[in-house]
Chain A
Amino acid sequence: MNGTLYKREMKGSVKLLLIFGAVITLYVTIITTMYEPEMMATLDSFYEVMPEMMAAVGMKAGATSLIGFMISYLYGFILLVFPMVFCILRGNGLIGRYVDRGSMAALVAAPVRRSTIACTQMSVLVSGIVLLAGYTTALEYAVAESSFPGELPLDQLLTVNTGLLCLHLFLGGICFLASCLFSDAKYSVGFGAGIPALMYVLQMLANSGGKAENAKYFTAFTLFDANGLAAGETAALGGAFALLAGAVVLYAVGITVFCRKDLHI
């Protein structure tokens, strides 16, 4: 780890973190406070009118507990997509863009190992993801406690959000690997943004049911089962662990590739 580089890059993350933090604050606050039995009826009627639409973004009818309600309406789209976009933007900016523009020359033309550079950049990405997940958890608990005291079991929330963190670490790993692998921004952005986005689209397809459900075998989002995590199911915990293990592999491969590749800068 190089402290000076870490500080510079974290400064570069601040603006994005603030933007995504604000968006998440807005949605979490509004949606959580919407939890009301009568409101549930309204949402269920939406579901009856357009079940495919609602299911595609992960919203299911009949969630009765607060955590079930939150999983239905927050963990299908908002808390999946916004941190994912953060991973894409930051993942590409940390390595790929510098190589593409040639400013990586300033970093490698110094007595700092390439593995140190790559590890530092990875830490910056992981720090951002952890900060977003930590903030989301604190916010959800605070909003739930102030509006519906005692309704949200903290242990369930923590389990679900740890799973969510594993998912985003995995998605960040894909972006980071693409960033290390390709020297051309066209490809590092193409694959870094393309693969996670494609996976999300497949997830939407799989959710809408029917034959398309087979799409679930081609997307990492399947491994994140929020309802299963809340219930403490072994399969769901295994999925989260698989995501975490996958993330470790992706980051390790990315760092190795970066250390060995030719830099035409």
Chain B
Amino acid sequence: MRVIDIEKLTRDYGSGKGIFDVSFQVNEGEVFGFLGPNGAGKTTTIRHLMGFIKAKSGRCTIRGMDCWQERCKIQEHLGYIPGEISFFDDMTGTEYLKFLAGYRRLKTANRMAEMMDRFELDPKSKIKKMSKGTKQKLGIVAAFMHDPEILILDEPTTGLDPLMQSRFVELLAEEKSKGKTILLSSHIFEEVERTCSRVGIIRQGKIVTLDSVEALRKRHVRAYQVTLESEALARSFAADFGGSCQGRTVTVAARQSLEDIFMHYYGGGDHDERDPV
């Protein structure tokens, strides 16, 4: 079942900025990785989903509800971590979480304590004085505390140390096993590789590829055929390099890492040529 459905979403900011004809779906219980270089249009797409901006052309829905028209209803079951965290600086972390629970009219913020323990968050200081990592943790707690069924996470591990990043990946795996639907925009390949079943890559506002992580890897496998002098030699070569052996001919595959695949789509060469300095 489609939970998040984006169809031909276009928003032109002029001079090549914006998103163009973006279409993809995220199904129930799926973790979808949304990847792209800076300024590719990830946050613009997410703003549409959150109902912050109205679709100029195309449409996007969550559970069949229009993201702009029915934004209030959608938000009931949604958790969101903004790409750029900005809270009320004058509050302490504790006050902020308490405020949010009241503001959302939560009867119980049942996961607040659990999330604070998990990320070792000490929310007693003023938000203004918090480090980037601490603010990010506060953002995570705020997004998960009402135990939402759909999560839209815009680069959620920015500023977290590797230990906390890995705890976050664990958390996502747990949420996935509970059947939550997650849209994760990210730059960290490991994070995506470990959590996402499908990925969409956006570049210069257009979706350039949309596939499962496995299929993406397979498509980028390069196979080599090597012919050796004797069958015995071929057999041991096949054993050493993990290839398959047919007589004196051995086929070996070079598996690209996901990072290489992403770099391919991010487009090293031709992308850089666009903006001569």
Is A bound to B?
A: yes
> Which chain A residues have a beta carbon within 8 Å of chain B's beta carbons?
2-5, 8, 12, 101-103, 105-113, 260, 262-265
Q: Out of A108, A111, A260, which one reaches B52, CB within 8 Å? A: A108
A262 touches B52 (CB 8 A): yes
**Smallest distance from the beta carbon of A13 to chain B beta carbons, Å?**
13
Rounded to whole angstroms, the CA-CA distance of A2 and B73 in the bound complex is 16
Q: Out of A2, A103, A109, A260, which one reaches B50, CB within 8 Å? A: A109
Stretch at the interface among B59-67, B78-86, B187-195: B78-86
Name the B residues within 8 Å of A113 (CB-CB): 72
B86 touches A111 (CB 8 A): no
Given contacts A108-B52, A264-B53, A265-B86, 17 further A-B contacts (CB under 8 A): A3-B102, A4-B103, A101-B86, A103-B89, A105-B86, A106-B88, A106-B142, A109-B50, A110-B75, A110-B100, A111-B73, A112-B72, A112-B75, A112-B104, A262-B54, A263-B53, A265-B47
Q: Is B122 an interface residue (CB 8 A)?
A: no
Name the A residues within 8 Å of B53 (CB-CB): 262-264
Q: A102-B82, A103-B87 known; A110 and B103 CB under 8 Å?
A: yes
A102 touches B86 (CB 8 A): yes
B52 touches A264 (CB 8 A): yes
**Smallest distance from the beta carbon of A141 to chain B beta carbons, Å?**
36
A111 touches B88 (CB 8 A): no
**Smallest distance from the beta carbon of A160 to chain B beta carbons, Å?**
37
Q: A102-B82, A103-B88 known; A108 and B99 CB under 8 Å?
A: no
> Which chain B residues have a beta carbon within 8 Å of chain A's beta carbons?
47, 50-54, 71-73, 75-76, 78, 80, 82, 84, 86-90, 99-100, 102-105, 142
Name the B residues within 8 Å of A3 (CB-CB): 102
**Smallest distance from the beta carbon of B21 to chain A beta carbons, Å?**
19
**Smallest distance from the beta carbon of A93 to chain B beta carbons, Å?**
11
In the complex, residue of chain A having the shortest beta-carbon distance to the beta carbon of B80 = A109
**Smallest distance from the beta carbon of B216 to chain A beta carbons, Å?**
31
Name the A residues within 8 Å of B72 (CB-CB): 111-113
Name the B residues within 8 Å of A260 (CB-CB): 54
Could you give 24 example pairs across A and B, Cβ below 8 Å? Answer: A2-B103, A102-B84, A102-B86, A103-B88, A103-B89, A105-B52, A105-B80, A105-B86, A106-B88, A107-B103, A108-B50, A108-B51, A109-B50, A109-B78, A109-B82, A110-B75, A111-B75, A111-B76, A112-B103, A113-B72, A260-B54, A264-B47, A264-B53, A265-B82
Name the B residues within 8 Å of A108 (CB-CB): 50-52, 71
Q: Out of B52, B75, B105, which one reaches A265, CB within 8 Å? A: B52
In the complex, residue of chain A having the shortest beta-carbon distance to the beta carbon of B50 = A109
Rounded to whole angstroms, the CA-CA distance of A5 and B232 in the bound complex is 78
Rounded to whole angstroms, the CA-CA distance of A102 and B142 in the bound complex is 16
Rounded to whole angstroms, the CA-CA distance of A112 and B104 in the bound complex is 7
In the complex, residue of chain B having the shortest beta-carbon distance to the beta carbon of A117 = B103
Q: Can you list the 8 inter-chain pairs with the closest CB atoms, starting with the nearest?
A: A4-B102, A102-B86, A262-B53, A111-B76, A111-B75, A263-B52, A4-B103, A109-B80
Name the A residues within 8 Å of B99 (CB-CB): 4, 8
Name the B residues within 8 Å of A105 (CB-CB): 52, 80, 82, 86
Name the A residues within 8 Å of B104 (CB-CB): 110-112
Q: Out of A12, A109, A110, A264, which one reaches B90, CB within 8 Å? A: A12
Rounded to whole angstroms, the CA-CA distance of A253 and B105 in the bound complex is 28
Name the B residues within 8 Å of A2 (CB-CB): 103
Rounded to whole angstroms, the CA-CA distance of A107 and B78 in the bound complex is 13
**Smallest distance from the beta carbon of A203 to chain B beta carbons, Å?**
35
In the complex, residue of chain B having the shortest beta-carbon distance to the beta carbon of A2 = B103
In the complex, residue of chain A having the shortest beta-carbon distance to the beta carbon of B91 = A8
Rounded to whole angstroms, the CA-CA distance of A4 and B104 in the bound complex is 9
Name the B residues within 8 Å of A5 (CB-CB): 103
Rounded to whole angstroms, the CA-CA distance of A113 and B51 in the bound complex is 11
**Smallest distance from the beta carbon of B71 to chain A beta carbons, Å?**
8
**Smallest distance from the beta carbon of A121 to chain B beta carbons, Å?**
13
In the complex, residue of chain B having the shortest beta-carbon distance to the beta carbon of A107 = B103
Q: Out of A101, A106, A263, A265, which one reaches B100, CB within 8 Å? A: A106
Rounded to whole angstroms, the CA-CA distance of A57 and B160 in the bound complex is 58
**Smallest distance from the beta carbon of B107 to chain A beta carbons, Å?**
13
**Smallest distance from the beta carbon of A1 to chain B beta carbons, Å?**
12
Name the B residues within 8 Å of A103 (CB-CB): 86-89
